[in-house]
Amino acid sequence: MNGWLAGLAVLIPLAGAAVTLLAHGLPRAQTVLSLLFAAALLLDASLLMAAVWRDGMVVVQASAWDAPFGISLAVDTLGAVMTLIAAITGLACLAYATAEIDEGHRRAFFHPLSHVLLAGVCGSFVTGDLFNLYVWFEVLLIASFGLLVIGGTRAQTDGAVKYVALNLVATSLFLLATGLIYGLTGTLNMADLSRAVPRVENTGVLNAAAMLLLAAFGMKAAVFPLFFWLPASYHTPLVAVSAVFAGLLTKVGVYALIRTVTLIFTHDPEWINGVLLWTAGLTMLTGVLGAAAQNEWRRILSFHIVSQIGYMVMGLAIGTKLAIVGSVFYLVHHIVVKANLFLIAGVAQRLTGSMELKRSGGLYEAAPWLAILFFIPAFSLAGFPPLSGFWAKFIVIKAALDERSIAIAAAALVTGLLTIYSMTKIWGEAFWKPHPAGPVEETGAPRAMVVPIAALAACTIVIGLFAQPFLAVAERTAAELTDPSAYAAAVLGRLP
Amino acid sequence: MEPVLAILIGVLVAVAVWLMLSRNFVRLLLGFAMLGNAVNLSIFVAGRLTRAAPPLIADGAVAFEGAYANPLPQALVLTAIVIGFGLLAFALVLAWQAHVRLGTVLTDEMRIAEPLPEKKEPAS
């Protein structure tokens, strides 16, 4: 029974893509079906999370081919949490999209592509096989290409060129690393790899393969110095699309980093963690400084994705249990907050007519409710207590200080301060300042836009005020991640 | 056989990197296609090469006997070829769209999504 829940996390969005494609000629039916499948995915992900929490890791051997010969689906707490949060974000953004997209966008296969994207994201979270992970990466990549250019403005074509170019490079590196690792160990099953990699004698080639893999995932996760595709493209597509991208895509890269570093490349932690720590610090600082120089809603937010990725990588790089708790907590908090901020940017554009802060303003008077809804994720992002971002930052920085990593803790604190600067800039320009073209009309926004935003803001508040259960999940995740032998035993079963 | 293939892969990667360093998006895509071939070959070699021993189980037997070719890399490479083809097809259409809509395929000249800061008027 539990096994089906893991399989369905991929099958439901794939079926959703097929069904919405078949309903292409029926606009209303397609929208309803799309939301139904997204809701079904959320239900399945919740049940999966409950099953993993109750019974431990869920492992499925596809077609009853025993590991390591077949493809294993292996869902530990981290996989289940990520699937759940992906399902929540997917549903919220699809609901928002029903009010945003027009007939042209719908005709460009918005709904089928969104479900393929979700299938790729969920597939990456449930798979236990390195090559299978590559395939899911490609599934979500090709769907994201399609979604990125829906609408077909010139800026989108421009952004897509950069996005496609760097992702093609990352894809090739990932595949090359997979080939090298297969050549060294003779296996691609991640559980089997966690046992085989420490036995590899040729550590030179192994480290080269590890670096290629980290570079590929780093590009996906948008870490320094591989992040340039992100601020070049994320502000161009539809708002719902950019919110899904902002919430989920880079985090798939972070997930893959966490998975491979904790499970597979445990042979030389000092070296890999050293590289990651430098990367994390520079990612945080360059991201937040880039944001400070921007004057457009979504470009500011895009640079903040980069800087926030730094915190997650920082937790991974420190590598203690507490640090990994912080990383996981950060991951969950960030997906909700960041997707929400992009959705709010969309509503703000609708009300004021522009995402350019110069040509925006007067929102506080016209839509005080939006100001409140913006305030929650924005100041959670900056790390104000008692919102979710405070706990996330607190744990990561505490872990750094425990390890006497003063420099990285200082970088994290400075980044937090500069984040406040960016958020107050948006607040001052878009909300307080009067609109340059006269007062904004109090038109309100469609309910389909406001409900997802309010729901995600509620998630942020709940995570912040009732942090204990979320911390318990993060602690169990960290306990599992720091003990890869348990993962291997669960997947490989009786094999020696 | 492995050294010959290793040299070939090296040459392909070198050519691919050279092409991908270009500002021209079409050349970058050609480089990606070559890099894809190099990567596929490397997976093929990583599975070890054998001569004239197809991975077929003889009639009546239940398992392989003696040496046989590794069938897995072929499956991996086949998957990778299909995916690479899909990505390249999309990217080529995108290059064409860039040519039509933006009037250029040189990435340096694509400044619509990220416009340069407006120049201030020199004080006269």
Residue B111, amino acid: R
A182 contacts on B by Cβ (under 8 Å): 43, 46-47, 72-73, 76
Q: Average pLDDT for residues A216-229, to the nearest whole number?
A: 91
> Where exactly are the structural domains of chain B?
2-50+69-109
- Name every residue in A having a CB less than 8 A away from some CB of B: 131, 135, 138, 141-142, 145-146, 149, 152, 154-162, 164-165, 168-169, 171-172, 175-176, 178-180, 182-183, 231-233, 235-236
d(CA B69, CA B83): 24
Which residue among B87, B107, B113 sits closest to A168, beta carbon to beta carbon? B87
Residue A272 and residue A292 in contact, taking contact as beta carbons nearer than 8 Å: no
Say if the Cβ atoms of B113 and A236 lie within 8 Å.
yes
Residue A75, beta-bridge partner list: A58
d(CA A55, CA A58): 8
Q: Give A152-182 pLDDT, tens digit per residue.
A: 888 899 999 999 999 999 999 999 999 999 9
Residue A266 and residue A484 in contact, taking contact as beta carbons nearer than 8 Å: yes
Q: Provide ipTM, 2 decimals.
A: 0.91
Residue A323 and residue A77 in contact, taking contact as beta carbons nearer than 8 Å: no
Q: Count CB atoms within 10 A of the CB of residue A31.
A: 21
Cβ of residue B33 closer than 8 Å to a chain A Cβ: no
Residue A359's pLDDT band (cuts 50, 70, 90): confident
d(CA A398, CA A464): 17
d(CA A12, CA A119): 8
Q: Which of A219, A302, A308, A214 is nearest to A264 (CA)?
A: A214
Q: Which of A109, A116, A158 to mutate to test the interface with B (most CBs of B within 10 A)?
A: A158
Q: Is the pLDDT of residue A494 over 60?
A: no
* Cα nearest neighbour of B73 on chain A: A179
d(CA A260, CA A403): 23
Q: If 0-12 CB within 10 Å is exposed, 13-18 middle and 19+ buried, where does residue A365 land?
A: middle
Q: Count CB atoms within 10 A of the CB of residue A432.
A: 14
Q: Looking at chain B, how many residues does it have?
A: 124
Q: Which of A97, A127, A121 is nearest to A20 (CA)?
A: A97
A154 contacts on B by Cβ (under 8 Å): 101-102, 112
Q: Is the pLDDT of residue A371 over 70?
A: yes
Cβ of residue B15 closer than 8 Å to a chain A Cβ: no
| B114's tokens | 């990220």
Residue A13 and residue A33 in contact, taking contact as beta carbons nearer than 8 Å: no
* Cα nearest neighbour of A237 on chain B: B113
Q: Does domain B2-50+69-109 have CATH number 3.30.360.10?
A: no
Q: Count CB atoms within 10 A of the CB of residue A7.
A: 16
At residue A239, the pLDDT reads: 92
Average pLDDT of chain A is: 90
Series of mean pLDDT values for 10-residue runs along chain B (124 residues): 92 95 93 95 88 80 80 91 94 93 87 75 57
CA distances (Å), A279 to each of A314, A318, A477, B10, B91, in order? 8, 12, 23, 29, 30
Which residue among A155, A168, A172 sits closest to B91, beta carbon to beta carbon? A168
Residue B106, beta-bridge partner list: B24
Residue B106 backbone dihedrals phi, psi, to 5 degrees:
-90, 120
Q: Average pLDDT for residues A256-265, to the nearest whole number?
A: 92
